Amino acid sequence: MTSKDNGGKPVGLTLTYSKAISDITDNAMVLKVCGKLAEHMAVPYNRVTDAYGGFFGSPSPSLPASAPVAKAATTNTTANKTTTRMLQTTNKTANTTKAAPKQTEWKLSLFVQPDPFAEKVDNAATATAASDTKAIAAVDTVTKAKYGSPTAKAAAITEAKVAWAKTGKPAATGGKLQITIKGSTDVAGYVYCAVSKTAVSRRMLNTTANATAANKTTTTPAAPKEVVTLQSASSAAKYNILRAETKTGALTFSLVFDKLEAGKTYKWMCEATSLSPGSPAFRTKMEEG
């Protein structure tokens, strides 16, 4: 049974600061911002999330452990050194590293999920409520003292149905105390992959014990409850979860789970969703192995 579409879309909110702030290293403060916005808009806390789907009082299971390190820009310069010998010309190329431009803005991406119970949702009104002067005043109570007051821009997001590329279903390979999962999506989306926190030791079968056990009455244990999504706290309790974002022109992903134990077997699984970290409209079938 599918309920009638009320027209609701997630609203993306970008807060731009002139001082360094990170949705990863400063996540506790970012989630407080989400909480203040939710209170200002009079909506449940879980409807205003950070870029990874976390909300006030509930950090995201896929929040990275550390922020990515910015790489210095590399410029190729060609020094034309011409040598007249046997009618051949030789060009020598020098590689130089150029410092990246000084950063002057830092952006936080937040998301406001639509009311699932409303008969009809006004997405434009939601965008206004999330970015007007009263909303900024609510944000300022958390960040202004340290980071200044941000500028805000909000707009409804149109989600695209996402699927695995024809030859891009996730596949896992073992390595030295690690597992690497690779694949690709057909459109831009979020990819969540997980590896079980507990492992099973690999061992040879004991044929004598198996023969003896065959003569006994055994009870088949109940099958474990399947994981429905990889964005929940219950999933995070059993799995280490990482997220990758695929983009147009860069639809492949590679996630590495390291610090594993040697000689052990680990369960893994992956799913992709449309570009909404809270309640995505589209998600793929779970792939696992």
- pLDDT confidence of residue 228: 74
Q: What is the DSSP letter of 9?
A: -
- pLDDT confidence of residue 204: 46
The whole-angstrom separation of Cα 165 and Cα 182 is 12
The whole-angstrom separation of Cα 107 and Cα 20 is 9
Residue 195 near residue 267 (C-beta atoms within 8 A): yes
Decide: helix, strand or coil at residue 242: strand
- pLDDT confidence of residue 217: 52
Average pLDDT of the residues of the chain:
86
- Residue 32, burial from CB neighbour count under 10 angstroms (0-12, 13-18, 19+): middle
- pLDDT confidence of residue 93: 55
- In this prediction, residue 10 has a pLDDT band, given cuts at 50, 70 and 90, of very high
Residue 247 near residue 272 (C-beta atoms within 8 A): no
Q: What is the DSSP letter of 85?
A: B
- pLDDT confidence of residue 223: 53
Of residues 78 and 225, the one with the higher pLDDT is 225
- pLDDT confidence of residue 278: 87
Sequential DSSP letters for 90-158 = --EEEEEEEPPPPP--EEEEEEE---TT-SS--HHHHHHHHHSHHHHHHHHHHHHHHH-PPEEEEEE-P
Question: Count of CB atoms within 10 A of residue 180's CB?
Answer: 15
Among the residues of 44-84, which ranges form H helices? Answer: none
- In this predicted structure, the answer to whether residue 139 has a pLDDT above a threshold of 70 is yes
Would you kindly state where each structural domain of the chain is located, as residue ranges?
11-66+102-156, 171-212+226-288
- pLDDT confidence of residue 84: 47
User: Which residue from 20, 37, 21, 32 is spatially nearest to 59, judged by alpha carbons?
Assistant: 32
CATH code: domain 171-212+226-288 is 2.60.40
Sequential DSSP letters for 23-47 = TTTTHHHHHHHHHHHHHHHT--GGG
Residue-wise pLDDT tens digits, 77-120: 545 554 445 555 555 555 666 777 889 999 999 999 999 999 99
Residue-wise pLDDT tens digits, 157-208: 999 999 999 999 999 999 899 999 999 999 999 999 999 999 876 554 554 4
The whole-number average pLDDT for the span 131-150 is: 97
Amino acid at the residue 217: T
Residue-wise pLDDT tens digits, 19-51: 999 999 999 999 999 999 999 999 999 999 999
